[in-house]
Amino acid sequence: MGKPELLAPAGSYDALVAAVRAGADAVYLGVGSFNARRNARNFSLESSDDAACSLQDAVSFCHIRGVKVHLTLNTLIRDRELSEAMRIAEQACACGVDALIVQDRGLARLLHTAAPDLTLHASTQLSCHTPEGVRLLRDSGFSRVVLAREMSREEIAACADLGCELEVFAHGALCMSVSGQCELSALLGGRSGNRGLCAQPCRLPFAVGHRPREGEAALSLKDQSLYHHIDELAALGVASLKIEGRMKRPEYVAAATAVFRRLLDGEKPDPQLLDDLQAVFSRSGFTDAYFTGKRGADLFGSRRAEDIAAPSVLARLSHLYEREMPRVAVSVRLTDAPLALTATDNEGHSVTVTAPTDTPILDKPLSAERVTEQLRKAGGTPFTVSVAGAAAPSVPLSAVNALRRRALDELCAVRGAAKPIACDTHAQPPERVFPSGVLRGLVARAERAEQVVPGADHWIVPLGCHPDVSHWGVEIPRGMFGTEASVRSALKRAAKAGASFALCNNVGAVPLAREAGLAPVAGPFWNITNAESLSAAAEDGAVAAILSFELTFPQMRFAEQRRGVGLFAYGRQPLMLLRACPVSAAKGCGSCNGNSELIDRMGAHFPVRCSGGCSELLNAVPLYLADHSEEVPKLAFQYLHFTDETPERVAQVLREYHEGGVPPTQFTRGLYKRGVE
């Protein structure tokens, strides 16, 4: 099995140079507004006075050096933004990027139609962490899946050998929430992580059960580093090792890339380099807890004074990328009469240059040994030169040197020339629609069996609960790390007990629902924000969908004429899906029977619900819309998300959503009016 690709971040031109010269096989970078690090310096679509920052120049720089470029187009796209996102994709195709990293399934659907030869990678924002999720994305046209960062070695192994490349985050910051499943920044700060503007509120003070004291950060994790597990990752069949850090400085990129490059090449990194890697950026050191399955208190950490790089560290690391790294093998052959040099690289590109006709002729020819010695000199270039043949011409040595320089310059131009990918943005995939009448009216989700009371048109209950009502379905857990087999069995039992549908908040849930004979319903964490994403959900087999609650009411207009579409209308909105439980880390597992809370520095209480090996952090107050029914878009159904309500409160809320009501003392309108960046 070959070595995995080493994929490094390039949030700026300087970081791009650092990544390439430190040994990256590929880089990932962003342009415009539709990438998950919008606050990085990023690259421009058009060449400008700062030509080094254009996408075309970045691609050329990398391709000359044998490095691939993966463009991040990995945010949620609103309906009116699809045309602009496709314009960026069209430009990327013109530049010849090697792959696009995509989160929005609707955008991916458009790209498959417009540019069938374009390689698409499924972003980690799609939260894929199960074999069935990998299969679904593979069958949807993705050639690679960037797996969730929270997976263990066994869970990664289960996703291998399924006909789809796997990419794993090997080094860098860990989000507290599973990527793509976080609304903390959006709902608390109006800046969406799904839109590339996460404000990192999880790094602020939070504590379990009390107002946080100085230094308490119950939602902050250490940075991950798997450099001790390189051989294991390769043996698992991982195709790409990804370094996180498009917001990080070039010295960080160089340090992480250099460490992993040496390890992949079978070398042992210098101890000083390993020390500098931790010194340039970490949070209380590094962790491999997710990979090894040891998700305890040691996984948590925050930035300390000693985690900030000293100037001496930065100075040492800057030397890692101050010179070109010879990485492209070139064979040259010098012939005489006429004097010409042919250079051929390891990818089959070839150029031939001839000496000027007025080149001086000497009485004594050069020795073949001297000519060979000169031809091998390629300092300052990304080439390593071997000599396939060398004539002994009677010319000055300077003429041989000039031929070599010209040949390598022309080879650079050939290698760096754009290789466009055909892209027809006028080509449109066929619209897909949901069947009529599957869900309507009020669709209520219960956390406990006793909450199932009269008043809802449909009930959604946890797996294992079989209510005595007419129209009901089950909720497939958002996090199914290593539990796919047990979920599959529970779904089959639910179908036998009378369930007719399943709420799916993850790509891996849909195939399981279909297999059990249950109609999949795309939940709010399917992250649907445009009409094409609705079509993609229908193409996957979904019969209905709940829109993302990051949309404003006006932004939902694309769905008003579509059947089978609903919105999140009531309840404590889930803010995070957690695999590392902050309550367990602080007090031990079992201390709260699955019900606890975090408190922030302002004194707000955020419930934590634990089940199935994952936890959910809920909003401190419920969303309430029963008194604003005239403003709510006319969609097929409203979704009510009950969590800690008593059965009596559930019944009251159901009445209010039928008849109108008065909001509770503390509540929110969510993002439906104020919107999110």
- pLDDT given for residue 52 in this prediction: 46
Which tokens belong to 4? 């995995």
CB atoms within 10 A of CB 74: 29
Q: How far apart are CA 559 and CA 631, in angstroms?
A: 15
Residue 483 and residue 565 in one domain: yes
> Is residue 367 domain-shared with residue 308, that is, in the same domain?
no
Q: Token pair for residue 514?
A: 């279909």
Asked whether residue 612 is domain-assigned, the answer is: no
Rounded Cα gap, residues 291 and 287, in angstroms: 9
Q: Are residues 23 and 89 in the same domain?
A: yes
Q: Are residues 17 and 153 in the same domain?
A: yes
Give yes or no: residues 124 and 65 share one domain: yes
Name every residue whose Cβ is closer than 8 Å to that of residue 139 and which is 6 or more positions away in sequence.
none
pLDDT value, residue 312: 86
CA distance 166 to 393: 53
479 is a domain residue: yes
Q: Is 424 part of a structural domain of the chain?
A: no
Same domain, 406 and 471: no
Residue 329: strand pairing partners: 384
Residue 482, both tokens: 């290593």
Token pair 């839109």: residue:
195
Domain count, the chain: 3
Note whether 64 and 56 are within 8 A (CB): no
Same domain? 356 vs 461: no
CA distances from 51 to 43, 88, 207 (A): 10, 18, 48
Same-domain status, 317 and 392 = no
Element (H, E) at 135: helix 131-139
| Segments of the chain scoring below 50 in pLDDT | 49-52
Q: What is the pLDDT of residues 9-51, one digit of tens each?
A: 999 999 999 999 999 999 999 987 777 566 667 788 876 544 4
Residues 380 and 518 in one domain: no
Residues in CB range of 207: below 8 A, 6 or more apart: 213, 216, 218, 586, 598, 599
Give the CATH number, domain containing residue 502.
Answer: 3.20.20.70
Residues 247 and 341 in one domain: no
- Residue 586's nearest CA partner among 294, 293, 208 is 208
Are 261 and 22 a contacting pair, CB within 8 Å?
A: yes
Residues 104 and 238 in one domain: yes
Does residue 578 belong to any structural domain of this protein? no
Q: Does residue 556 form part of some domain?
A: yes
Q: Domain boundary residue among 364, 399, 416?
A: 416
Residue 253 Cα to chain centre, angstroms = 18
Last residue in a domain, options 280, 304, 321: 321
State which residues form the domain around 626.
Answer: 441-572+622-659
Note the pLDDT of residue 51: 45
Q: Given 321, 340, 357, which residue is the final one in a domain?
A: 321
CA-nearest of 118, 29, 23 to 73 is 29
pTM for the full model? 0.95
Q: Given the DSSP bridges, would you call strands 614-618 and 574-578 parallel, antiparallel or unpaired?
A: antiparallel
| Rounded Cα–Cα distance for residues 187 and 573 (Å) | 9
Q: Are residues 169 and 297 in the same domain?
A: yes
Instruction: Report how far apart the first and last C-alpha atoms of the chain are (Å, whole number).
Output: 44
Close Cβ partners of 248 (under 8 Å, ≥ 6 residues apart): 9, 11, 15, 172, 281
